Amino acid sequence: MKEMKACLAEMIGTFALVLISVGAIYNANHQQMDLLGIALAYGLAVGVMVSATAAISGGHLNPAVSFGAFIGGRMEMMQAARYIAAQLVGAAAAGLVCVMILEQGAVSTATPDLGKEVSTGTAILVEATLTFFLMFVMMGTVMDARGPKIGGLAVGLAAAMGVLFGGPLTGAAMNPARVFGPALFGGHWTNHAVYWIGPMLGAALAGAIYGRFLIHSDDPQALKKK
């Protein structure tokens, strides 16, 4: 039952951040907001939903975060797999609702893709770097028992920071589910692998550094378990 509740929380949280992200880009494309507005919308969605779900599931809402948590000793492999499945279901549901509200073309346009003259290698590096920061902040605030008790605020700010830098380059997804949901119903799969490889690499590196070195070399009990 506990695992079911955690997976449901992950589904709902991921649904919300994907829905808001797509809507923000739709509004930007209709000249209702700029890059700062998109960053704010994404950061707010991440921050409030991480805060809302942290006590139930840990507030991952991101396959890369769950993978990084596994690498960092935060969770078991099967638990990470269940979380990732729940996140993808939530993202897919958001993609479906977005198509129903905004139509397929708008959802396709709101699916992250590479900017002009951005190579695949560069895009993977951008996504990996930004996700490293996101995961590092997640572990230092939400997952570390010694961290400041600020809920998902820092994680949301890290997401907004990533969009401000990487938005024009890759869309700054930092989250495979953020791309999977809209792609599934919007039909835009171009460069899709970038948004799995980059975030997974970045989160794994952050998880290894924080979870296996910064935590365990100092205080093995500091890393909270879910």
Question: 78 or 217: which carries more pLDDT confidence?
Answer: 78
174: closest CA among 196, 190, 189?
196
177: closest CA among 159, 164, 192, 166?
192
Three-state secondary structure call for residue 223? strand
Three-state secondary structure call for residue 75? coil
Mean pLDDT for 116-137 is 97
- 190: exposed, middle or buried (C-beta count within 10 Å: 0-12, 13-18, 19+)? exposed
pLDDT tens for each residue of 66-104: 999 999 998 999 999 999 999 999 999 999 999 999 989
Which of 26-35, 150-159, 170-179, 216-225 shows the lowest per-residue confidence on average (mean pLDDT)? 216-225
Mean pLDDT for 122-127 is 98
pLDDT tens for each residue of 28-54: 988 777 899 999 999 999 999 999 999
Enter the pTM of the model: 0.93
Domains of the chain: 2-215 (1.20.1080.10)
